Structure 1
Amino acid sequence: MEGRLQEVFTVNAFTASPFAGNPASVCLLELELSEEQLQGVAAQMNHSETAFVTRLDTGAAFQTADTFQLRWFTPTTEVQLCGHATLAAAAVLFKAVENQQPKLTFITRWGLHLTARRDGDRIELELPLNDRQLSAATGKLLLRLADSCTVQQLEALKPDVGQLTRLHDGGEVRGVIVTVRGGGQFHCQSRYFAPWVGIPEDPVTGSAHTVLGPYWARQLGVERLSARQCSPRGGQLAVAVDWAAGRTRVAGEAVIVLRGQLRVA
């Protein structure tokens, strides 16, 4: 018995390389799945996030629609914002599905309206602006290392993520951003740890840059930044802060590395 099959993609976000950046799974939902099934798919794919994309206008095809509902699940829970899986979803629609719309809008169950546009080889996302070192909207805590610390020291950092969950229950902080002044071609570099949502370390985190972007923009007196997340896989992001609109624009490349079908029932 074949069962019900759901098409699924794996996309490496914020990189042009098949073996770098942050992998996310993307499901373009043709089937109605329960909450339990959505979480089961995310656990099966076992990436930091899986994005589920649904057409709001069921009369439109994925190739022609311009507005979608978007949800993100880690292997253990649903999250309110995920930048790299949003980039992955847009890459699937633009590249695999060949949607020709100039702009895609993603509406979330948390009231966010996110957009994605083509920007040459990159895709530019418009995300919220979180101008606090502890963002209540995302649960992300930003820790800046002293300027005497090097990028190599940040790369060598090995936090005890198990100890983090023992020290804090995740009620206020659900992820920790550790950052240094970038030097060279980058304005800033960072790493991101979120064991409270089942992610010991996230390779490249778009949503973290909604906090990093405003912080470093103020510190450096600029509105456009080149950023690198220096995890073992690594990735690069272009970040622009729009203070007037209260938005952060995050751009990067993405490569689709897998396309297949998953049995969901």
Structure 2
Amino acid sequence: MIFTMYQVDAFAENVFEGNPAAVIPLETWLDDAIMQNIALENNLSETAFFIPHKTGYHIRWFTPNAEVDLCGHATLATSHVLFQHLNYSENEIQFESRSGVLTVKKEGELLVLNFPASKIETQYIPPNLKTAFNIHPRKCYKGRDDIMLCFKNEDDIINLQPNFIKIIESNARGVICTAPSEKYDFVSRFFAPAVGVDEDPVTGSAHTMLIPYWAKQLNKNELLARQVSKRGGTIHCKHLDDRVEIGGKAITYFIGEINF
């Protein structure tokens, strides 16, 4: 079998920035084990597969280790492929997913994801996370899938040194670390070693928790964020009550074929 595969840098203005994702268009689903093996072979944080659906498309996402319920950057990358390479002619794409209906629309140069917001609950910092970093977090929150740790400032986030074993022991999909910023409204980093991604370069799904939190803290619904990983990426954010908009740019790195 031969399939076309696109590798796209999402939340990036240039190649080698943002978060790379593989995107594979299908007519019908492959066996789950095959899709998981493709994702493992790609060894990217996410590989997205999609098929035509009566209202648009059905999308699924795989890390090298597991299928996940929600992924922002690979959805952005998939939308880029549809708009840029597969001649999708409408201004908005609708995806069915394990997290419900997701939409992506073009707004000038940006692709804007509309995702369900995550509920946020205050909790005590779990003992393993108190010592999972070289800098002590100030507050801790639990979301739909992730734990979020709040720090004093942007320098704290940039200088974090994670202990991945202790992060895995948190029993969360991932751990978001965030702080206010002078240049941006907030910055973050995201660690998910439990699903095979030690540090994700730019994480759209984490912003379903970050946006509601910072919208309340800063008393504003439109925010500009930066994920300060090594590759880095800028995220345009909007809080819409029980939904959030997550906007960014994308660029194609390569187009190839997989054959097995």
Distance in 2 separating the partners of 1:183 and 1:228:
11
Task: For 2:196 and 2:17, locate their aligned partners in 1 and report how far apart those are by CA, in whole Å.
Answer: 21
Q: How does 1:112-151 map to 2 (within 5 A)?
A: 112-132=100-120, 133-135=141-143, 137=144, 139-146=145-152, 149=153, 151=154
Number of residue pairs the alignment of both structures matches: 240
Is 1:229 the counterpart of 2:227? The answer is: yes
Instruction: Report the TM-score when normalising by structure 2.
Output: 0.89
Does residue 8 of structure 1 match 2:16? no
DSSP 3-state at the match of 2:119:
coil
- C-alpha distance in 2 between matches for 1:217 and 1:42: 34
- Are positions 1:93 and 2:90 aligned together? no
The CA deviation at 1:84 is: 0.4
- Deviations for 1:60-92, whole angstroms, at most 9, x for unmatched residues? xxxxxx610000000010000000000000000
Measured in 2, the distance between the counterparts of 1:141 and 1:111 equals 18
- Alignment match, 1:176: 175
Moved more, 115-124 or 156-165: 156-165
Instruction: Give the stretch that moved more between structures: 154-163 or 113-122.
Output: 154-163
CA distance in 1, matches of 2:78, 2:107: 15
* 2:246 matched residue in structure 1: 250
- Corresponding residue for residue 161 of structure 1: 164
Deviation (angstroms), 1:131: 3.2
CA–CA separation in structure 2 for the residues paired with 1:98 and 1:226: 30
Paired letter, 2:88: N
Percent identical: 37
CA distance in 2, matches of 1:41, 1:205: 21
Deviates more, 1:118-127 or 1:30-39: 30-39
Q: For each residue in 1:117-157, what CA deviation from the matched residue of structure 2 results, as whole angstroms up to 9, or x when unmatched? A: 1111110110011130311x3x21111102xx3x2331121
- For residues 112 and 24 of structure 2, what CA distance do their matches in structure 1 show? 20
Shift of 1:56: 1.5
SS at match of 2:13: coil
Q: CA RMSD in A?
A: 1.2
Relative to structure 1, the CA distance from residue 142 to residue 55 in structure 2 (aligned partners, 3 Å threshold; closer, same or farther) is: same
Indicate whether 1:41 and 2:38 are aligned: yes
Partner of 1:104: 93
- The secondary structure found in structure 2 opposite 1:215 is helix
CA distance in 2, matches of 1:259, 1:113: 28
Unaligned 5+ segments in structure 1 are 58-65
Moved over 6 A (4+): none
User: How far apart, in 2, do the equivalents of 1:101 and 1:25 lie?
Assistant: 23
- TM-score if structure 1 supplies the norm length? 0.88
Q: Which residue of 2 aligns with 1:211?
A: 209
